[in-house]
Structure 1
Amino acid sequence: MNRLLDKSLKPLAIYALIVLLLSIPAYYFIVDRIWVSELDKHQYVLRDKIESRLVKLNLPDSTVEQTINIWNKIEPGFVFTAHPTDQVIKDSVYTTMRFDDFLQDREQFRALSTSVRINNKHYRLLIETNMEEADETVTAISLAAIFFFLLLLGGFILLIRRTSAKIWQPFYITLDTLRKFKLNSDQEISFTPSDTQEFNELNDSLSKLLIRNVNVYKQQKEFTENVSHELQTPLAIVQSKLDLLFQHPTLTNDQYNIVESAHTALTRVSRINKNLLLLARIENHQFADHENIDLSILLHNMMEMLSEHLEQKQLTLENILQPDVKIEANSVLLEVLINNLLINAIRHNSIKGRISIELTEHRLRLTNTGSHTLAANKLFKRFSTTSTETPGSGLGLAIIKQICDLYQWKVSYSFINNLHIFTISFKDPITLPAPSS
């Protein structure tokens, strides 16, 4: 995942690279035009100097011819030729490619073909100047562009790194304040004021949002506490009254069946009430306390507690438990998780079936025999009926899913070869994070 500053640097770097790449042909064209223009001016100056000096020497015609011949031999860039008529030659400036005898290679030359007048006689003067090769110029400009791009990119990175620490400091202070804030604490949220308008607006919006969330959390917590108190008491009273009815000596068989049916329904209501309250507490992150728990030992203890249930169905229990698998979590939630998994494996099992438990530092897998698959699309939803043969409260697997989500574990279900397979994959192989407060 990229940081915000890196995302802002990328388009700047791309834009700078595009501009510099486009500048290479522009630089070449400008340099080439300036160079050619200066060469042309220089050649005209040379022509004027040569003509002026030869005229000032006032040499006889024979000497002039000898001087020109010598000049042509020692100055390969200048060529004098006699003009057959007295007509003035029109100046011609052009670029040509020819073989250079001295460099032994084809070179590009800028040429000026003009005429000079010496002793009232016209001569054709050809001045050629070797030009720099285009590829050398382009290479030099490209290297310069690359250098300045790297310099510009380095400057961008340096400036962004240095200025961002100050510019984004209020944001990181706000982020740190949010991380330290606990929803179930009585402390008031307070953000550090900033001289940046956008950060102050962000802090104000977050303050209002957190205040609303705190109020909602307190209301939900108060509601669950009230429900726990108001419902558990009358349920306990009704339970005790039904227990007294069971012991009444004049109770007929029909009355006994009615009381037993009411007792079963009341037990289910009480269990549903406890499970709903547990789900509400999990969702409200009211299980903040955590400890380092040896999961292998906890599994052994839970299996011993449920041994009677196993014997009732004559189930065979197999376990492959890696020792010293320790996890940081709330002990109550972890016991609820394992208990619900085991109860579910016993309930959705056949007589004389088997249950297999596999524990490693990466996962917990529980497998049990079964006749048909469960409704996977409704498996972890509240009050969903996954099987009509073994009805329950419809909250056991929902609680498992809620606990796994709280600790960022992954729970999955599959049915292969008449085997129900529940797998919990741990986020961290050794130590898992406790639920946030």
Structure 2
Amino acid sequence: MNKLLNKSMRAFVLYAGIVLACSIPAYYAIIDFIWAHELKEHNRIVSATTRQNLQALSLTDKELSETVALWNKLQPETQLQPVAALRPDSTYNIYRKNKYIPAKGWDRFQGLVTYFTINGKVFRLTQEVNMEESHETIIAIAGVAFLFFLILLGGLIFINKRTSEKLWRPFYSSLQKIQAFDLHRQYAIEFEKTGIEEFETLNHHLEKLIAGNIAVYKQQKEFTQNASHELQTPLSIVRFKLDLLHQSKPITDEQSALIDEAHQSLSKVTRINKNLLLLAKIENSQFSGKEAINLSALLEKHISLLDDFLEDKQLQVIKHIAPDVVLSGNKTLTEILLTNLIMNAVRHSQPKDTVTITLKTHLLEISNTGAMPLEEKMLFRRFGTSSPNTTGTGLGLAIVRQICQLHGWQESYRFENGFHLFSIAWA
């Protein structure tokens, strides 16, 4: 991803480059116009000086002819020739190969043709001057412009970087605090005073937003805790009353079936209540103790405890457990995590399906067969996958995520080659 400052700088550089490209022909046109104008003035001055000097000599016709001939030999770039009549002055541009330095190639000349009289005779004076070559002018202008462009660009980048670091420091400070903010820790963020109206407004609204979220989060947690605690006693009473009702005589088979169904629903509600209490305890950091856990031995123990359940469902369990894998964590929560992951795979498997359990040095992976991928966004949310038709509470994977967040582990899910794969990774 690109930074905002880099995007604006690229726009400035692109604009400056376009202006530079357009400025070179403009510079050339202006300089060429000024140069051509100056050369015209130069030719007019030389022509006027030549005319005045010749007219001031008061030469005879013979001396005039000799002087003209000598002039044409000494000044080959000019031609002084007798003509029949006076005409208006004219200018021209011509490219001519350099006869003195052939290697130089073609030169550009600007000429002035003027007419005047000496001793009653009309003469035509052709005055030419060599102009600077166009390509040489363009190269020179482009080189100088590009040099100053680099100097200007370097200065802009340096100044922009220095000023931007100072101007945007409050923004990055606020951004760093927001990134480090954790709703579970329930502390408010205090932003620094910047003295800049835009940043002060942003920080004020961020403080209000965070404070509101913390308040709502606390209310939800308190509601969950209070509701779960208050439900324990009524649930126990209902269970006791159902047991008494089931033991009472006489009772019909239909009544017994209804009581069993009520027991099943009550058991599910009881498990949900216990899981909500467990989530509340995890969020309140009531499981703070950590120890070195031999995950290999703990995993083997949990699998052996579920042997009878696995056999009843006719599931094939494939184990790839590396020996003596040790990690640091709360043992009670780690046992809950293993139980939830294994039971999730077992509960959603059909008879004679395969469950694969793989443990590596930094990875635990439990997979079970499946027909199609699950909606990953809903998997680790509370009641994200619960259904009235299943015995699950919809909180097992939410508890797994909460335990992983507490320990700094990373949970993930993917569907690959007809298998649902749930992974836990740690450093």
- For the criterion TM > 0.5, the same-fold answer is yes
- Partner Cα distance (1:38, 1:290) in 2: 93
SS of corresponding position for 2:158: helix
- Which amino acid is the alignment partner of residue 96 of structure 2? R
CA apart distance, 1:112: 0.8
Normalised TM-score (structure 2): 0.81
Normalised TM-score (structure 1): 0.80
In the alignment, structure 2 segments of 5+ residues that lack a partner are: none
Match of 1:24 in 2: 24
Match of 1:204 in 2: 204
Report the more deviating stretch, 141-150 or 252-261: 252-261
Summarize the alignment of residues 8-407 of structure 1 with structure 2, pairs less than 5 Å apart: 8-83=8-83, 85=84, 87-104=85-102, 105-185=105-185, 187-239=187-239, 254=253, 260-276=260-276, 299-321=299-321, 335-351=335-351, 353-359=353-359, 364-368=364-368, 373=371, 376=374, 380=379, 382=383, 384=385, 391-397=391-397
The alpha-carbon distance between structure 1 residues 321 and 92, as it changes in their structure 2 partners (threshold 3 A), is farther
CA apart distance, 1:132: 1.8
CA apart distance, 1:339: 2.5
- Partner Cα distance (1:64, 1:421) in 2: 113
CA apart distance, 1:111: 0.9
In the alignment, structure 1 segments of 5+ residues that lack a partner are: 432-437
Match of 1:421 in 2: 420
- Which amino acid is the alignment partner of residue 88 of structure 1? L
Check the 8 A contact 2:320/2:358 in 1, yes or no: yes
The alpha-carbon distance between structure 1 residues 180 and 423, as it changes in their structure 2 partners (threshold 3 A), is closer
The alpha-carbon distance between structure 1 residues 240 and 404, as it changes in their structure 2 partners (threshold 3 A), is same
The alpha-carbon distance between structure 1 residues 187 and 401, as it changes in their structure 2 partners (threshold 3 A), is closer
Match of 1:434 in 2: none
The alpha-carbon distance between structure 1 residues 59 and 403, as it changes in their structure 2 partners (threshold 3 A), is farther
CA apart distance, 1:203: 1.4
CA apart distance, 1:13: 1.2
CA apart distance, 1:133: 2.0
Could you report, residue by residue, the CA deviation over 1:331-352 in whole angstroms, capped at 9, with x for unpaired residues? 7666544423311222334555
CA apart distance, 1:285: 8.7
CA apart distance, 1:162: 0.6
The alpha-carbon distance between structure 1 residues 203 and 137, as it changes in their structure 2 partners (threshold 3 A), is same
SS of corresponding position for 1:127: strand
CA apart distance, 1:367: 3.3
SS of corresponding position for 1:96: strand
Could you report, residue by residue, the CA deviation over 1:274-332 in whole angstroms, capped at 9, with x for unpaired residues? 345556788x7969969797765654454344334234445442222456878888776
- Partner Cα distance (1:6, 1:301) in 2: 56
CA apart distance, 1:398: 5.8
Check the 8 A contact 2:242/2:259 in 1, yes or no: yes
CA apart distance, 1:200: 0.9
Aligned residues: 418
CA RMSD of aligned residues (A): 3.9
SS of corresponding position for 1:138: helix
Report the more deviating stretch, 249-258 or 20-29: 249-258
Could you report, residue by residue, the CA deviation over 1:7-40 in whole angstroms, capped at 9, with x for unpaired residues? 2111111111111111122111111111110110
Match of 1:435 in 2: none
